[in-house]
Amino acid sequence: MSSVILLVAAGIYVGWNIGANDTANCIGTAVGSGLISYSKAVILIAIFIILGASIQGERVIETIGKGIVTEVIPVPAIIIALLSAGAFVTIATYLKLPVSTSQAIVGGVTGVSLSVGANIAWNEVLSIILCWIINPIATLVIAYGLYHILNALARKVKRIRVWERFITVLLVVTISYMAYSLGANHAGNAVGPIANLGVIKLRWLAIIGGLSIALGSITYGHRVSETVGKSITLLDPITACAAQLSIAIVVHMFSILGIPVSTSQAIVGGVIGVGLVRGVTAINRSIIIKIIIGWIATPLISAIIAFSIYKIVA
């Protein structure tokens, strides 16, 4: 019983980190564009994160719990995988870096599984890595296209007030959709490793994951929001909606497939996509390079930390 409590506590810690770091991916563009206040947006996303996790979070939970490693691993190994990923994301959040919690947890699970000597489904791991590459490219393309669609629609609307009301409603809808997609995909990052043991039903794990992510969003989600919303490129209402909707579509698609992807990668791809409308010079390339380095380092560092800690304590 005590081991189960420790596992759940570790999962909640990871979920809190996901909410703290990935809240920016839901509302950074909206807050950055000035269309909605942070306090109102964060309450909205907390609700839809819980809904997404509860309704569609089980697929990714199963992938992380039993798809990457094909056998049951010891409880201490699972706790180490969770804490290694969580600690790394905590540091990144403090530094205002939108790193990938999906990469952190996949790296942690893979690293500790190697340390244990468990069988790893490398085909599954490679498939996940391929999806990580496709993820930002897909959001970039979709965001670029959505911008032109919304821009063309704006030209046809004669009344400015009607358009402003429409774009505000659309932004609220995209925030909600993005939060739903975040919950559906990232509940697995928080509690997926626990599913390896089969001691808690997937539905309950999904609810726990969603609640912990929502808690992180409310209590510590403000730090990374500024980086995503204002540092990469300046956003107006149309670009904010296009970027937001593109990430929601792509992340939801991968959630249905049970693939843990990075909302950080997706939103950066979306923001770059709408930023390219103004030309390459509108993109803050130094910030992009810094974020990309974080993407590469995240799974490697998480894997090394988890592998090393288990070797020391085992």
Mind listing the pLDDT tens digit for each residue in 146-179?
A: 999 998 998 888 888 888 888 888 888 888 998 9
Per-domain boundaries in the chain: 2-313
List alpha helices for 95-121, DSSP H.
Answer: 101-116
Residue 99, φ and ψ in degrees, nearest 5: -85, 170
- The residue to which tokens 């069988």 are assigned: 119
The amino acid occupying position 157 is V
pLDDT value of position 229: 47
- Could you tell me which residue, 286 or 245, shows the higher pLDDT? 245
> Angle, nearest 10°, between helix axes 2-33 and 237-257?
150
3-state secondary structure 27-63: HHHHHHHCCCCHHHHHHHHHHHHHHHHHHHCHHHHHH
Q: Concatenated DSSP letters for 160-216?
A: HHHHHHHHHHHHHHHHHHHHHHHHHHHHHHHHGGGGGTT-S-HHHHHHHHHHHHHHH
Mind listing the pLDDT tens digit for each residue in 13-39?
A: 989 988 887 776 677 656 666 667 777
Mind listing the pLDDT tens digit for each residue in 271-305?
A: 788 877 766 555 666 767 777 777 788 889 899 99
